[in-house]
Structure 1
Amino acid sequence: MPNWLEIALRAFALVVVLFFMTKWLGKKQLSQLNIFEYISGIVLGGIVAIHSSVLDTPIIYGLIAMFIWFIIPFFVEWLSLKSKAFRNFSQGKSTVVIQNGKIMEDKLKQERYSTDDLLENLRRNNIFQVSDVEFAILEPSGALSVLPKSDKQSLTAADLGIKMPPRREPQTVIMDGRVLLEPLANTSLNPTWLETELEKMNISIENVFLGQVDSDGQLTVDLYDDKLAVPSPTQKPMLLATMKKCQADLELFALETRNEQSKDMYEKNSKKLQTAIDLVTPYLKN
Structure 2
Amino acid sequence: MQVLLVIGRTFLMYGLVLVVMRTMGKRELGQLSPFDLVVAVMIAELAAIPLEQVDAPLLPGMIAILTLAGLEILLARTSLAGIAARRIISGRPSLIIARGKLVEEEMRRLNYNLDDLLAQLRRKGHFGPAEVEWAVLECSGDLSIIPVGNQRPVVTGDLGVATGDERLPRAIILDGELDREALTAAGLTREQLLDQVKRKGAKDIRGVLFAGTDRQGELYVQLKARRRH
TM-score interval (norm. to shorter): 0.5 to 0.7
Q: Match of 1:22?
A: 21
Q: Does residue 1:141 correspond to 2:158, yes or no?
A: no
Give the direction of change, closer, same or farther, for the CA distance of 1:62–1:29 in structure 2 (3 Å limit).
farther
Q: Does residue 1:114 correspond to 2:113, yes or no?
A: yes
Q: Does residue 1:37 correspond to 2:36, yes or no?
A: yes
Tell me the distance in 2 between the aligned counterparts of 1:94 and 1:142.
9
In structure 1, what residue type is equivalent to 2:33?
Answer: N
Q: What is the CA deviation profile of residues 103-143 of structure 1, one whole-angstrom value per residue up to 9, with x for unaligned ones?
A: 11221121121111101111111111311211110000000
Q: Match of 1:128?
A: 127
Q: What is the CA deviation profile of residues 223-250 of structure 1, one whole-angstrom value per residue up to 9, with x for unaligned ones?
A: xxxxxxxxxxxxxxxxxxxxxxxxxxxx
- Alpha carbons 2:99, 2:133 under 8 Å: kept: yes
> How much identity, in percent, do the aligned residues show?
29
Q: What is the CA deviation profile of residues 214-270 of structure 1, one whole-angstrom value per residue up to 9, with x for unaligned ones?
A: xxxxxxxxxxxxxxxxxxxxxxxxxxxxxxxxxxxxxxxxxxxxxxxxxxxxxxxxx
Shift of 1:31: 4.8
The TM-score normalised by the length of structure 1 is: 0.52
Shift of 1:54: 1.8
| Number of positions where the alignment pairs a residue of Structure 1 with one of Structure 2 | 158
- Alpha carbons 2:30, 2:140 under 8 Å: kept: no
Shift of 1:156: 4.2
Give the direction of change, closer, same or farther, for the CA distance of 1:121–1:30 in structure 2 (3 Å limit).
closer
Tell me the distance in 1 between the aligned counterparts of 2:25 and 2:34.
16
Tell me the distance in 1 between the aligned counterparts of 2:154 and 2:28.
35
Q: Does residue 1:87 correspond to 2:86, yes or no?
A: yes
Tell me the distance in 2 between the aligned counterparts of 1:26 and 1:77.
9
Q: Match of 2:171?
A: none
Tell me the distance in 1 between the aligned counterparts of 2:142 and 2:68.
26
Shift of 1:52: 2.1
Q: Match of 1:234?
A: none
In structure 1, what residue type is equivalent to 2:92?
Answer: K
Unaligned residue ranges in structure 1 (runs of 5+): 161-286
Give the direction of change, closer, same or farther, for the CA distance of 1:124–1:29 in structure 2 (3 Å limit).
closer
Q: Match of 1:104?
A: 103
Shift of 1:86: 1.2
Tell me the distance in 2 between the aligned counterparts of 1:85 and 1:153.
35
Alpha carbon RMSD of aligned pairs, Å? 2.0
Tell me the distance in 2 between the aligned counterparts of 1:155 and 1:5.
60
Tell me the distance in 2 between the aligned counterparts of 1:74 and 1:151.
44
Tell me the distance in 1 between the aligned counterparts of 2:3 and 2:75.
38
Shift of 1:5: 2.2
Q: Match of 2:151?
A: 152
Unaligned residue ranges in structure 2 (runs of 5+): 160-229
Q: Match of 1:61?
A: 60
Q: Does residue 1:52 correspond to 2:51, yes or no?
A: yes
- Alpha carbons 2:137, 2:143 under 8 Å: kept: yes
